[in-house]
Structures are given as structure tokens and as C-alpha cells.
Chains A and B, each alone.
Chain A
Amino acid sequence: MQTEVFAPWDDPDQKPLIRFKSVKKQFGDFTAIQDLSLDIFEKEFFALLGPSGCGKTTMMRMLAGFETPTSGSIELAGQDIGSVPPNKRSVNMMFQSYALFPHLSIWENIAFGLKRSKMPKGEIEARVEEMLRLTRLEKFKARKPHQISGGQRQRVALARSLAKAPKLLLLDEPLAALDKKLRQDTQFELMDIQEKTGTTFVIVTHDQEEAMTVASRVAVMDEGRLMQVSTPATIYEAPNSVYVADFIGEVNILSGHAKPAGDGLYAVTWADGQPPVIAASNTPYSDGQQVHLAIRPEKVAISEAKPDAENAVEGKVLDIAYLGNLSTYHIALAGGQIIKAQTANTQRISRRSFTWEDTVWLSWTPTAGVLLDQ
């Protein structure tokens, strides 16, 4: 049975919930956002991913209403919200610091936004109880924020921002303050809550793993520009630039010159003394064009004997990073280049086949990597 895939961005008839139209934002001489256009659809879990200072927080603050674009417009459900103040927008934000009111109890924190609307008292109480149940905080409702743990505070912040049932929820590095294990659990909880409430989430994060886990689409940003906007799988397997390939996960970049070898295949001469590598590409490249082959470590096979493969190079094991479930090998080739190869540790460590200084062969198929021109 085929279930319908959630992909409103592929449907040209879909109206976006949020539309950035050539938005530019300057702080004095500094341009934080450069001429950026972006559509975000209803019920999406959208991640803005990038290093600090890339403009992702500015984007979020413009959505919340704390900053106004220098030029261009931002539409929410078809309406320009450029001049609407934060308290008049159906957008709520979960702050990185959580920004819980220290003088109010958990219950009052969650009720804070509801009390500002003209909701009757009974409904406020029912809604707060509902939010407490959703975030499993019933037991703590009478406590003050400083009397609960970091993970609970995170959930209070989420409950408070969701209480008004906003059209759009913004999450500014929501999990940054949690330790790794709790963060992973909370990621799934966030997805669960997003699905249950059907709210559109926009999350800002610098943690690529977090973005990949939770998001339906990821926007990779750098220096105020969108580098690529796509699903996590596309971003990982088909990055459109060396920057994106390098930012998401680990990657080997082999730079060289392409020579068409027919059938969508290209031979890339990338290092003296190494045979050219064969790579498949849908994008055509001209003879001698500068290209970069991005290949993920887990797609590089490692073996003792020379394998029967299109691409095979010989090298020595320089380093082994043992991660438990995976091992990453750093293999030094004769010319000094280092290629990373990753294998899953399906066997116990005592029977590991390679160790330092071993001579090994690396191989990969023509479709294992992506050819990029920038």
C-alpha cells in the first residue's frame, strides 16, 4: 500500500504558509540576509541550518517580528506581516534561553499568553491542563522555573509557545542546552508533538544531526544566503555544492578535471600518480572542466586485496577513529592525500581486520559520489 508522501513543496498548486520575497536585512554596514526568497508550507517541520553568524537567527527574528526586513517582504498565509508587531502575530517563539518568567509558576508561565488574549477563564484552564498533559508536566505545575530540571524547562517553554495554538512556531536552538542523550529523546518528542498539533514548525539550529532528524526540509545557510533547500536525504546524498556536502556529515572531496567518458560517466584526473576516478553525473560537464567529487566515507569500501572495482586506490591506514558502531579509517595514499572510509562494526573488535600501518585498498562505484562544479 502506497501512503501519500508529505511533499507540498513539489506541488505547484500549494499555497505556502510563509513566503520570503527577496528579503534583505542589513545591520549598519553588515548584511545579515542577502536577497533571499523562500517558501515554507503548512504542517512543515522546517530547519534553518548553518554556522553561527549565517543569518538563520535573523530570519527567525524577522518571522517573530523582532526585526523588520530592510527590503523585500515576508508573507504569512498570504498577508504581508512586515509591519505587524510581535504581539499581533499568530506566531510564537521558543527562545534558546527558554525565557521562562522566573517570578511565575509553570502553570502561570503556560497561561501567560492565553491570559493576554480575551479567552474566558475556564477555557484558559482547560487549555493549560491540555498543554501540561501534552508535555507531561502535570506534576510540576505549581513549581517555579528554577525548581525544575533543564529538560522540564525546555518542555515548559514548548508548552508556553504552543498554548496559543499559533499558525507558526519558531524554535531557536531549542535543544542546545540539553545533554546529548536527552537531546535525542527530545528530538523525537518534538516531532511527535509537531505531528499531534499539526503546527508548522521552523527550527533554527547549528546541529546538522538535529536538523536531519526532525525536519521535513532543511535549508542550509551561509553568509546570509540559502545554499540549498531540500529534504534531509537529498541534502545528504545530492548536495549541490562542496559547501553543503562538507557542512552536512563527513565527506571526501577529490578536486580535479573532468573528461567525458560516455554514458553519463566522467573520468576525473585528481592527483598525480593516481589513476583517474570514474564518476557518474546527470549534470553535463565539458572536457577539462574543474570539478569536485564529493564522496561520503561510508560509501568507500576498504579491503586487503585489490578489489575488482571501477575505482580502486591503494594506501596505508593512518588513523582509526573507533566510534563503537562505526569505525572511520583515515587512509594515506602514496601522494599524501588522505581519504576517509567508514565501516560498520558488525563484528566484535577483537576480529577487526585492519590496524595502523596496514596496506589496504579503497574502492567505490561510479555512482557512490556526486560531481560538483562549485
Chain B
Amino acid sequence: MRRFILIAVPYIWLLALFLVPFLIVFKIALSDTALARPPYLPQFDWATGLGAFLAELDFENFVFLTSDALYWKAYLSSLQIAVIATLITLLVGYPIAYAMTRAPEAWRPTLMMLIILPFWTSFLIRIYAWMGILSQEGFLNQFLLWTGVISAPLTILNTNVAVYIGIVYTYLPFMILPIYAALDRLDGSLIEAAEDLGCSRLSAFWLVTIPLSKNGIVAGSFLVFIPTLGEFVIPSLLGGSGTLMIGKVLWEEFFSNRDWPVAAAVAVVLLVILIVPIVLFQRNQQKQAEAEA
């Protein structure tokens, strides 16, 4: 009995906070938009019963998503931005994590603190700060003009470049921490053994360090990729009209168009797309746990 309760707690948690909200969203996705409050029909009515209620639900909105090129283009563009941003974050994060494991023992808590420190400030404020840095008259342009690298200010804000900068900046800690954890566990004598057996420093890095930090790389990449795919704040604040991301489309459907059913359908499809990497991520975590056992 006690075991049952113990297992039931997380399941009830998942049921109440994930499955129930999902079902509500899914139901809205199957409804029709209406000038009402809430702005969709049907509403469940005890008088007409369950049968009549279910009969009114249909997949119309999902079909609609395929009819307008905007949606699949937004999904594809989101995927593309998420993949590229994840790769950039990896390229920036890996050397930082590597340098942290090479730093003297006494410095490491401080370095770790510096990585986590940005979380102490509101995410929204930090993105607004980037607007100040990247704008036409921003700090970056003023600095570049002052050093003479450029003669006319660069347009960075409201382009995809600004979106990438924002994503890499925001999600970098999620990349660094798992890679750092993996590299920190790496036995230094393995590198020495590789060198002893004829590897140069670089090939020892490729053949030993990289494969043995693979789990950290995979975990970090998913931790960046998954939230980036549905990101809304960064593209809407730093991106321009050319930045097409599904999070932004969803927001517009919901608040500008007030078309809750289509917005819900967009959200459901996004979730389906995300399930693949989430399952892969879980499998990686599980494999890692098994390898360590």
C-alpha cells in the first residue's frame, strides 16, 4: 500500500499538471472558434449530454494548418533556427566547459558561479538589455564605430543574427553544465594513456575526450534544442519581421487573431514534434545511468 502511494505521487503530479492541461488544449484544438467567452465551441452541457458534445469535435483546425504554408514554414524555420542555435551553443559552450575543468581547483566554484549568475536576473530584462546592446545606436555599434572597425552602424537588432545571439546567450549555461559534469568525471590518466600510445594532444582530444564527454554533449544539446524550438520571447523581442518561429505564430494566433482552436492545434503539433527529441534525450540519460551502474 505504501509502495503504491509512493509511486502514485509522481503519477498524480504528471496527470494533474501535464496530462489534464494537455487534454484541455487538445479539446480546444478540436473545437470551432466562436464569438463567445471562452472564444470557442462546443462547451460541455449536461443537458445535451456527452454524445452531442463529442459529435461537434473535429480535426478541422489540423487540416487548416496544412492548407496555409505559413504554418509548416514556421515549423521548419523553427527547427532550422533551433538546430543552428544548438550547434553554435555547443561550439561556444564546449571550450568554456573544457577550460573550467582545466582551471585550478580553487577557481572552479567561482567560475561555476559566473555561469549560473545570469539566472539571478529576470530573463525578460536580460533580453531587453540585449536590445540596448544590439540596436543601431546600441553599445556594440558605438564601440565598433569608436574603434574604427566599421564606418556605418550595423543592423543587428530585428534580424536572425540577433535571435541567434539571444538564444546562445540564454541557453549557454544549459550546455556548459552537463558538458562540464562529463569532463570533470574524465580520468586524466586516460588522456595520458592515449598520448603514451602515440596520440598527439589533438588526436587524444578527438579519440578520448570527445567520445567520453558525448553524454554531456547530447544532454546539453537537447536542453538547448527543446526549449529553443518553441521559443517566443527571444524571436519576438530580438527578431524582425523576417524571423519566422512557431512560438511567435502561436502567440499571434492566440492574442492577435483570438483564434484559440487554431493556436491550440499549433501547440499540439509542436508538442508532437518535441516528443521525438524528448524521448531521445530520456533514452540518452537512461543509457548513461546504466553505463555508470
Contacts and interface: CB of A to CB of B under 8 A. Distances in A.
A66 B203 CA distance: 17
A99 B198 CA distance: 15
A180 to B, nearest CB: 24
Contacts, number: 57
Given A87-B200, A103-B212, A95 B189 contact: yes
A123 B94 CA distance: 37
A85 B190 CA distance: 16
B192 A102 contact: no
B196 A112 contact: no
B189 A99 contact: yes
A135 B194 CA distance: 21
A93 interface: yes
Contact of A95 (B192, B198, B199, B291): B192
B189 A116 contact: no
Contacts of A146: 291
Nearest to B292: A146
A113 B189 contact: no
Interface residues of A, number: 24
B5 interface: no
A160 interface: yes
Contact of A64 (B196, B200, B211): B196
A133 to B, nearest CB: 20
Nearest to A96: B189
A117 interface: yes
Interface string B188-221: 0110111111111001000110011010000000
Interface in B123-182: none
Contacts of A87: 195-200
A92 interface: yes
A93 B195 CA distance: 10
Nearest to A111: B197
B199 A116 contact: yes
Interface in A220-267: none
Interface string A144-158: 001000000000000
B193 A99 contact: yes
B45 interface: no
Nearest to B210: A103
B188 to A, nearest CB: 9
Centre residue among B187, B196, B207, B211 by max chain A CB count within 10 A = B196
Size band of the B side of the interface?
A: 10 to 19
A97 interface: yes
B190 A101 contact: yes
A112 B197 contact: yes
B192 A92 contact: no
A113 B196 CA distance: 8
Contacts of A91: 196
A116 B197 contact: yes
A93 B212 contact: no
Nearest to A160: B197
B192 A101 contact: no
A16 interface: no
A299 B170 CA distance: 77
B192 A66 contact: yes
Interface in A105-150: 112-113, 116-117, 146
B189 A97 contact: yes
A217 interface: no
Nearest to A104: B211
Given A86-B192, A99-B192, A92 B197 contact: yes
A141 B275 CA distance: 38
Given A116-B203, A146-B291, A99 B190 contact: yes
A99 B187 contact: yes
Contact of B196 (A93, A97, A102, A117): A93
A97 B187 contact: yes
B189 A112 contact: no
20 contacts: A64-B192, A64-B196, A65-B196, A85-B195, A87-B196, A87-B197, A95-B189, A95-B192, A97-B187, A97-B189, A99-B187, A99-B190, A101-B193, A101-B194, A103-B211, A113-B198, A116-B199, A160-B197, A161-B197, A164-B198
Given A99-B189, A102-B291, A116-B197, 4 more contacts: A65-B196, A87-B196, A87-B200, A102-B212
